[in-house]
Chain A
Amino acid sequence: MSSIYVNNSASGIVYPTNTSWQIPVTLIVGANTFTIYGKDSLGNQSPSTLTTINRNRLGDIDGNNLIDLTDISLFATDWLKTSGFNYALSNMNGDSIVDLTDFSIIAKQYGQ
């Protein structure tokens, strides 16, 4: 492959090594879908790969774009856990423990 295309554009893509590439993207809240393919020096296109990256709002554990009773119910199952979270997004401040700080965050977001 000589070039990579993300959503039909090669713009902004950098190649740190011969076998890797990077592109900075801004994720919107919700599903972010990217169609990725490559082209060789002759312009032959590879099959496309579809990749979806979900970005959740803070406190939106189940990813439905609402912070509601479902989210605090899921969050509470991880209370005071330091690993093996049932829901990785319970640890909202990324400090490796689900505690009062996280509860404060989800409480502040509640209903929004």
Chain B
Amino acid sequence: MKQILSFLIFLCLLAYITKPAYAASGTMSISPNTGSYNTGSSFSVDLVIDGKGDSFNAAEATVKVSSNTQINNLVLGDCGFSFVKTPTSTDPSFTGVILGGSTTKCTAYALILTPLSPGSATITLTKAGIKKYGNATELLGTTQNALYTITGEGASSSNRTPSAISPQITLAQTNPENYTLSLTALTSDNTPIGNAMVNIDNNANSSQVNQLKAETDTNGQATIHNIGPGVHTVKVEKDGKQVSQTILNFTGTNPVLTLGVKEQKQPANWTIIIIVGILIFILAVLLLLRSGFLKAIKHAA
């Protein structure tokens, strides 16, 4: 018996000593990462960040889309990132952080792509990282690039339906003095939100004086010019209710930032729920008192 016990202890010690060192297992991937698409036909892919059970609050990647594929739009996902490096249709590379929170898995953004010529189209992720919430240890284990087959069976260039094209941009040698935001507001099921107000707040590091705003058109699009460089809070409101709030950093040599935002789920306002509950309770008690219910119970007792 003693020998068996010793053997078991030995096995436990062996298992402990030889256990594999903690390896980062988080992933950053494009989904779907394979498929066959026709030239001229748009399709959507997501950039998904997965901590594989670990909470993270920051991620970044240099994202390159092959030149035979056009990015029609970039719509921010459900990570709730504030961006140090803001991803745009022109450059989808990003550095984002969840301020005061974390998640275990989320979609950074969706890319709406249109293949331009037959062959292979790729999306590659490099210089990527995912940081664990709390101590910022690296969680990223693998990145998964995308490789698509593009066939020429789609609409020909002569009868192709025109798609939204990002403004032609001439890269300046230095950072521009002011930026333009070309924003599309969408519901959670990608319906454009028209007549919504887009507000850009000042920040302490910006020389900008006035709050900038614009109203979205029927396509959910609004363009705001003369945005000072630096960090700004971009709010979208519809009928007095907030649709989304995103912190973006306007920086870099590209003067136009083109991206989309989706309607964010509003958290339950527990204060109002509790107050309403208390009021309903008081009202119920008053009604009972008025009906003499309590008096009857007392009399019966």
Name A's B-contacting residues (CB within 8 A). 62, 69-77, 79-80, 86, 100-101, 103-108, 110
Contacts and interface: CB of A to CB of B under 8 A. Distances in A.
Chain B interface main SS type: strand
Contact of B131 (A70, A103, A104, A105): A70
Contacts of A73: 56-58, 97, 131-133, 136
A110 B58 contact: no
Closest 4 CB pairs of A and B: A79-B100, A73-B131, A73-B58, A73-B136
B82 interface: yes
B249 interface: yes
B100 A103 contact: no
Contacts of B98: 76
Nearest to A103: B231
Contacts of B136: 62, 69-71, 73-74
27 contacts: A62-B136, A69-B58, A69-B60, A69-B129, A72-B84, A73-B58, A73-B131, A73-B133, A73-B136, A74-B136, A75-B97, A76-B58, A76-B97, A77-B100, A77-B133, A80-B99, A86-B134, A100-B203, A100-B204, A100-B247, A101-B203, A104-B230, A105-B205, A107-B230, A107-B249, A108-B205, A110-B95
B85 interface: yes
A72 B203 contact: no
Chain A interface main SS type: helix
Interface of B: 56-60, 82, 84-85, 95, 97-101, 129, 131-136, 203-206, 230-231, 233, 247, 249, 251
B283 to A, nearest CB: 36
Contacts of B249: 107
A107 B58 contact: no
Contact of A72 (B97, B135, B204): B97
Contacts, number: 74
B246 to A, nearest CB: 12
B98 to A, nearest CB: 6
Nearest to B83: A107
Nearest to B202: A100
Given A74-B135, A100-B247, 9 more contacts: A73-B132, A73-B136, A76-B97, A76-B99, A76-B101, A77-B133, A79-B101, A104-B205, A107-B231
Contacts of A72: 58, 84, 95, 97
A97 B85 CA distance: 23
Contacts of B95: 69, 72, 110
A69 B231 CA distance: 17
A7 B299 CA distance: 91
A75 B82 CA distance: 12
Nearest to A67: B84
Nearest to A110: B84
Given A73-B58, A77-B57, A104 B204 contact: yes
A99 B129 CA distance: 24
Contact of A80 (B100, B131, B132): B100
Contacts of A86: 134
